[in-house]
Copies of this chain bind each other. A is one copy, B any other.
Amino acid sequence: MNCKPIRTEEHKKDLMAVQDSMDALQGKWKISIISSICYYNKRRFSDILNDVIGISNKMLSKELKELEINKLIKRTVLDTQPITVQYELTEHGKSLQTIINNLKDWGIKHRKEIIGNNSETITHTEAENVLVENM
């Protein structure tokens, strides 16, 4: 939480650093996309499109581009016919594992806290980022 005096340069840098992390992970589908690529190690566009339920090709394209700009994933064009494109995590992308696990653990704690009294107040946007039901 950085309970340092606000209005200092150091504090502002801390806030920006947190925001940088949030920006890198923000986006309706980013975690699911990363998760899909991570599990399969290498994954093609159309495969991710199938993994992440509800995502459109437009959004997949957009968020993959953002992940690539942030150097979290690597994009490789294979010269098959027709071409296929392979996505994989970079080393930097793999370093997300820790932070995502932290987010997961706090999320579980948070859910318990919220459900404690009132299960309706949780703001998780339902039905999002759900992976395919059917094989």
Where the two chains meet, the residues of A that have a C-beta atom closer than 8 Å to any C-beta of B are 1-7, 11-12, 14-26, 31-32, 34-36, 38-39, 51, 66, 69-71, 92, 94-111, 113-114, 121-125, 128-133, 135
Contacts and interface: CB of A to CB of B under 8 A. Distances in A.
B6 A131 contact: yes
Chain A interface main SS type: helix
A95 B71 contact: no
A98 to B, nearest CB: 7
A1 B35 contact: yes
A2 B110 contact: no
A15 B2 CA distance: 27
Contacts of A18: 31, 100, 103-104, 107
11 contacts: A6-B36, A12-B130, A17-B103, A17-B104, A20-B122, A21-B103, A21-B106, A22-B31, A22-B103, A26-B26, A99-B103
B104 A21 contact: yes
